[in-house]
Amino acid sequence: MEGPTPASALIHAATMVAAGTAVLALLLPVLALAGPARWLLALATAATMLLAALLAVGQTDLKRLLAWSTVSQVGVMLAALAAAPPPDASAGPGLLHLFAHALFKSLLFLALGWLGVLAGGTAARALRGTAWSVPVAGAGLAVGLAALAGVPLLVGGVSKEHVVEAAWEAASAGDGPARLVVAALLVTVVLTAVYATRALLVLTDGGVRRAPGAAPEPHAATVRVSTPPVVPAVVTALAVLTVLGGLVLLTGAFDVPGFSAVWALVTLLLVAAGAGVAWWLARGGDLADRLPAPLVAAADDGLGADRAYLAVVARPVVALARLVAFLDREVVDGYVAATGLAARAAGALGVRASRPERPSVGLGLVAVGLLCAAVVGVLAWS
């Protein structure tokens, strides 16, 4: 999320997200045979999509909101794989959602990054009302957020509807993981609509409507950034793809069940409910401002996951490393150094023992040495 805009678009939309899902989709025949693994994946993805969607609602930074929405949407893709039951498991719905997500998420990141450059930051406060000042970016964001929420006929709506429908079919056939996935999916659809609506309301906040560049943030850009023509072109192209992307189903590239009007209606109702809730809660402002401050802080903090990793993994490992360095220096090498010291001490003792005025000691030592050599020789011979 801290990366520059193109890197964010690439990471969140295409490369890293695609890698995990694509590999798991290829391994689906194996996964389908492993019941416990499917349960684990279903539990993990259900928790991921719900938690990440909740965190997205409370983010004070819109780019971070998009980042959390990626986490949630990847949960949706993987949940589609977890909900595919054994006999003829199909990765189609999950891969279709991966395809859809790549389109609308890259659109969202690029358009939001564009506004962010003009407004001097991607915080919700800095971006408030900026959608009107750059109509192309604003329209792109509106289309992208609608697709993210899952409005039917847009690419995101088509794919999400198929994921839900496929999971429902498996669940109604009595498949355990699929039931869990369906329940989590339906809640996530509502939550996704909530945070997508929240972002849209912030960006189009009419009450504040003002030109970008006059942002209240102290670090706001004072230089007007000129926009090269390729930027609106890219955003427009991605927006068109987001609207028309659902047509990819006509090519038959994805193995998905047919269109179901019932599920389209259900998702539409859920999306409308989520959007309504968000609109009602926001009451003309930012939804996150209406939430209790500690909740927002916890969301911005990602529930402290980073600090937990630092405390549970990073610090102990570094402490262990220090211990190893100490052991290496003082204990392992200590034996080596001690050998040297012992040899020197033995030498000093030998010097003391074999003074010229006491030749008998020297003779005794030679005799002992000969005896040792003889014993070794006899033993080795036999």
Partner 1 sequence: VVLSLLVLVPLLVGAALVAAGGRLGVDTARPVAAGAAAVTALLAVVAAVARPALDLPWVPELGVRLHLGVDGISVPLLLLTAAVGVLVTAHAWFETPTGGAPATFLGCLLLVEGAALATFTARDAVLFFVAFELVLVPMWVLISRFGDPHDPAARTAAAQRFVLYTAVGSTLMLVGILVLVSAAGTTDLARLATGAGAAVPAGTQTVAAVLLVLGLGVKVPVVPLHSWLPPAHTTAPTAGSVLLAAILLKMGTYGLVRLPVASVPAGMDRVAPGLAVVGAVGVVWGGLACLVERDLKRLIAYSSVAHMGFVVLGLASGTRTGLQAALFANVAHGVISALLFVLVGGLKVRWGSVDLARPHPALRETAPRLGFLLVLGVAAGLGLPGLAGFWGEFLALYAAWSPADPAHLPVLRASAVVAALGAALAAAYLLRVARSIWLGDPRADPAVRVVEPPAGAEPVRTPDTRGVEQGVLAALAVAVVVLGVLPGPLLSVTSDAVAAVLGGGT
Residues in contact with partner 1 by the rule CB under 8 A: 317-318, 320-322, 324-325, 328, 332-333, 336, 340
Min. distance of Cβ 75 from partner 1 in angstroms?
A: 24
Distances (CA, A) of 365 to 275, 361, 369, 371: 97, 6, 6, 10
* Residues 83, 171 contacting (CB under 8 angstroms): yes
What is the DSSP secondary-structure string of 132-180? GTSHHHHHHHHHHHHHHHT-TTSHHHHHHHHHHHHHHHHHHTT-HHHHH
Classify the phi-psi angles of 150: left when phi > 0, otherwise alpha if psi is within -120 to 50, otherwise beta. Answer: left
Query: Nearest distance from residue 170's CB to partner 1, in Å?
Result: 34
> Closest distance between partner 1 and the C-beta of residue 90, in Å?
30
Instruction: Concatenate the DSSP letters of all residues of 175-211 into one string.
Output: -HHHHHHHHHHHHHHHHHHHHHHHHHHHHT-TTT---
Name the residue nearer to partner 1 (CB basis): 11 or 298.
Answer: 11
CB of 309 to partner 1, least distance (A): 13
Which residues, listed in sequence order, are joined to residue 61 by a DSSP beta bridge? 123
Identify which of residues 237 and 324 has a Cβ nearer to partner 1 in the complex. Answer: 324
Residue 217 or 330: which CB sits closer to partner 1?
330
Min CB(381)–partner 1 separation in Å? 11
Min dist CB 307 to partner 1, Å, is 18
User: Please, what's the b/e burial string for 335-352 (b: 16 or more CB within 10 A of its CB; e: otherwise)?
Assistant: eeeeeeeeeeeeeeeeee
Amino acid at 40: L
Are 127 and 216 contacting, i.e. CB atoms less than 8 angstroms apart? no
Residue 255: what are its φ and ψ, rounded to 5°? -90, 90
Q: Which is nearer to partner 1, 30 or 332 (CB)?
A: 332
Q: How far is the CB of 325 from partner 1 (least distance, A)?
A: 5
Instruction: State which residue, 332 or 365, has the beta carbon closest to partner 1.
Output: 332
- The C-alpha atoms of residue 127 and residue 63 are separated, in whole angstroms, by 10
Nearer to partner 1, 36 or 340 (CB): 340
Q: For residues 331 and 351, which CB has a smaller minimum distance to partner 1 in the complex?
A: 331
